[in-house]
Amino acid sequence: MLKKSYQLLLLVVLAFSLVLAGCSSNSTSSNGGKDSDSDGKLKEAEEQPLAKKEGNSITVGVADNFISMDPHDTNDTLSYSAQKSMLEGLVGFDKDMNVIPVLAEDYEASDNAKEFTFKLREGVTFHDGTPFNAEAVKVNVDRLADPDNNLKRHSLFSLVDKTEVVDEYTVKVSLKEPFGAMINNFAHPAAMMISPKALEEYGKDVARNPVGTGPYKFSEWEPGDHLSVEKNEDYWQDGLPKLDGITFKPVPENGSRVAMLQTGEADYIYPVPTEQANEIQGKDGIVIESDPSIIVRYMSMNTNKEPFNDLKVRQAINYAINKEAFVKVVMQGFGSELDSVIAPNTQFYSKQDPYKYDIEKAKQLLKEAGYENGFEATIWGSNNSSTMKGMEFLQQQLSQVGIKLDVEPMESGTMSDKIWSVENPEDAEIELYYGGWSPSTGDADWGIRPLLGGESFPPQSYNTAYYKNDKADKLINDALQTADPDVREKAYADVQKILWEDAPWAFLAVTNTMGGKKNYLEGVYLLPDGSLSVQEAEIKQ
């Protein structure tokens, strides 16, 4: 009996605390409700006094573990964010993904897009004292171009035929065939320069001992806990760096990351969960920055399979989805409708005429295609909560025109088996796939060819729509044969028009980058491809 009364007591206490929790949270929920009514737009941060900051070092909270510090062998945007504080490339991207010179003072491309000449900046040294010169560039590009090195970013440089040292500060890279977007590949963080001495000394272990020319030097890396960099006193740019050091901390749990920013344990966090952005904006000296990215969200339709081989069905699906509601519901308003296959900040983007949300028209098209009563289909996607939310939304939308979707979330292992390892397009079970893509070279080519090019079927690349259109393929190829921006722009405008009308995807949205900082921090920002720039960070007091 004693045991029982003890249990009862415990229950009562538990019930009571639950009710209490309910009461206190209800009061905040009414606030939260109001915020999300304002169409999810970020509310204006009110004037608030600068938060207090001691010391001249900052902590950045990120969502995942860093994988590698070797840019040539990295394929996650997050690792690049840390690498970019220590390493630099010949060229790079500015805030709007325009190519700007960094270690090269100037560059030029031959008309046939086969030869690229870089004039290097003089007087730059690596952190270990090795001088930066044409020879160092050659070592790096040769390393990337050699398939035997098995580097993850070899694909961006597989076209390189040879690299020549013209003089101490001039280097010429020749390609096997023309490739108009090559400068963007050089601006990709994959092409950042590592000290040749470090490459020789550490070999593959350079991934744990990065030596570059950047404003910060590598200090220490405890995987899973933190990675820290310290000031490079001999940096070539005047006035930089302005901080003594930066510590990157992986914090996968959304709530903990937000709490770190609130308490000041972190000075900058990303991504800020969209659900909480408005809740923390303007309090405790927090400023949320949300800007359009180049990351697109789409649902691909397997054009080899019935009923998606019918253009009318694909267009009907595009008409049946309320894109405005998608942005509002799935992204809490932190995004915009997608009106081409690539996002507005991507090079050579051309706006298309949107598929206006129109259920009647969608039903009409389905009727013409012979699917008056709709049909059943399966949608695949990864099993994280935001992807599941997107898929559930699509399920709701398409149910309005009689299309019954079966949502199948998969963890990445299953997904790689079922999607990315299918050798023969006829064997592909995939029907609908909810995906996202960040063309990290910032160029239209990398936003289109890997996803919708006729030679990009899995397992080679990411064409989950198994879409092949000879006319589009020819235009994509034409655009690569030249470095002339006008010719390329024309070709990509035509490609985008074809793809838009052919609708191998349901075009959904462009996401926003979400960063949160304390208001004393300046010069830290997210690039549209989702990577972080900390080179110019400073603390204002």
Partner 1 sequence: MVGQPEPAVPKNDPKGPRVDVKDEKKKVKTPFSEFWKKFKKQRLALFAGIFIVLLLILAAIGPYITPYGSEEFDYDNILVGPSLAHWAGTDAYGRDIFSRIIAGTRISLFVGLCSVLLGATAGTILGLISGFYGKWLDSLIMRMCDVMFAFPGILLAIGIIAVLGPGLGNVIIAVSIFSVPIFARIVRSTTLAVKATLFVEATRSLGATNRRLIWKHIFPGTTSSIIVYFTMRIGTAILIAASLSFLGLGAQPPTPEWGAMLSSGRDYLNTAPHVTFFPGMAIFVTVLAFNLLGDGLRDALDPKIKD
Amino acid found at 536:
E
Q: Residue 92 forms beta bridges with which residues? A: 100
391 near partner 1, rule: CB under 8 A = yes
Among 29, 56, 309, 421, binds partner 1 (CB under 8 A): 29
Among 303, 328, 312, residue whose Cα is nearest residue 366: 312
The footprint of partner 1 on residues 477-536 (CB under 8 A) is none
CA distances from 281 to 42, 93, 333 (A): 8, 28, 15
Helix (H, G, I), strand (E, B) or coil at 505: strand
* Residues in binding contact with partner 1, number by CB under 8 A: 42
Of the two residues 129 and 255, which places its CB atom closer to partner 1 in the complex?
A: 255
Among 35, 128, 146, 265, binds partner 1 (CB under 8 A): 35
Among 76, 337, 358, 392, binds partner 1 (CB under 8 A): 392
Give 131's DSSP letter: B
Rounded to whole angstroms, how far apart are CA atoms 207 and 29?
46
Of the two residues 117 and 378, which places its CB atom closer to partner 1 in the complex?
A: 378
Tokens 């998969």 sit at which residue? 410
412 near partner 1, rule: CB under 8 A = no
263 near partner 1, rule: CB under 8 A = no
Which residue stretch of 77-85, 251-259, 344-352, 503-511 sits at the interface with partner 1 (rule: CB under 8 A)? 251-259
Name the E strands within 251-346.
268-269, 286-301, 335-337
Q: How would DSSP label each residue in 153-216?
A: TGGGGTTEEEEEEEETTEEEEEESS--TTHHHHHHSGGGB---HHHHHHHGGGGGTS---SSSE
Rounded to whole angstroms, how far apart are CA atoms 414 and 366?
32
Q: Residue 304 forms beta bridges with which residues? A: none
Of the two residues 9 and 50, which places its CB atom closer to partner 1 in the complex?
A: 9
CB atoms near residue 283 (< 10 Å): 11
Give helix then strand counts, H and E, for the chain. 15, 21
Tokens 């009689």 sit at which residue? 402
Of the two residues 273 and 439, which places its CB atom closer to partner 1 in the complex?
A: 273
Among 511, 479, 453, residue whose Cα is nearest residue 350: 479
20 near partner 1, rule: CB under 8 A = no
> What is the closest distance, in whole angstroms, from the C-beta atom of residue 18 to partner 1 in the complex?
7
Among 206, 229, 317, 329, binds partner 1 (CB under 8 A): 329
59 near partner 1, rule: CB under 8 A = no
> What is the closest distance, in whole angstroms, from the C-beta atom of residue 276 to partner 1 in the complex?
6
252 near partner 1, rule: CB under 8 A = no
276 near partner 1, rule: CB under 8 A = yes
Amino acid found at 16:
F
254 near partner 1, rule: CB under 8 A = yes
Among 226, 305, 328, 361, binds partner 1 (CB under 8 A): 328
352 near partner 1, rule: CB under 8 A = no
Of the two residues 296 and 329, which places its CB atom closer to partner 1 in the complex?
A: 329
Which residue stretch of 15-23, 92-100, 366-374, 429-437 sits at the interface with partner 1 (rule: CB under 8 A)? 15-23
Name the token pair of 496.
Answer: 């985008």
Among 378, 383, 477, 481, binds partner 1 (CB under 8 A): 383
Give 106's DSSP letter: E
166 near partner 1, rule: CB under 8 A = no
Among 189, 196, 282, 409, binds partner 1 (CB under 8 A): 409
Among 36, 158, 382, 481, binds partner 1 (CB under 8 A): 36
> What is the closest distance, in whole angstroms, from the C-beta atom of residue 335 to partner 1 in the complex?
15
Question: CA angle, 398 as apex, 397 and 402 as ends, to 5°?
Answer: 130
DSSP H or E run through 220: strand 216-222
Contact 261, 477 (CB under 8 A): no
41 near partner 1, rule: CB under 8 A = no
18 near partner 1, rule: CB under 8 A = yes
Among 439, 441, 421, 438, residue whose Cα is nearest residue 429: 421
Of the two residues 15 and 166, which places its CB atom closer to partner 1 in the complex?
A: 15
Contact 325, 292 (CB under 8 A): no
Among 51, 388, 487, 498, binds partner 1 (CB under 8 A): 388
> What is the closest distance, in whole angstroms, from the C-beta atom of residue 288 to partner 1 in the complex?
14
Tokens 């399920």 sit at which residue? 395
Which residue stretch of 30-38, 288-296, 432-440, 529-537 sits at the interface with partner 1 (rule: CB under 8 A)? 30-38
> What is the closest distance, in whole angstroms, from the C-beta atom of residue 166 to partner 1 in the complex?
55
Q: Residue 490 forms beta bridges with which residues? A: none
> What is the closest distance, in whole angstroms, from the C-beta atom of residue 275 to partner 1 in the complex?
5
Of the two residues 197 and 328, which places its CB atom closer to partner 1 in the complex?
A: 328
Among 17, 20, 28, 129, binds partner 1 (CB under 8 A): 28
Who's near 251: CB < 8 A, 6+ residues apart?
A: 61, 62, 63, 257, 260, 266, 269
> What is the closest distance, in whole angstroms, from the C-beta atom of residue 6 to partner 1 in the complex?
13
Binding site for partner 1 (CB under 8 A): 4, 8, 11, 15, 18, 21-22, 25-26, 28-30, 32-33, 35-36, 254-255, 258, 273, 275-276, 278-279, 322, 325, 328-329, 383, 385-386, 388-389, 391-393, 395-396, 399, 407-409
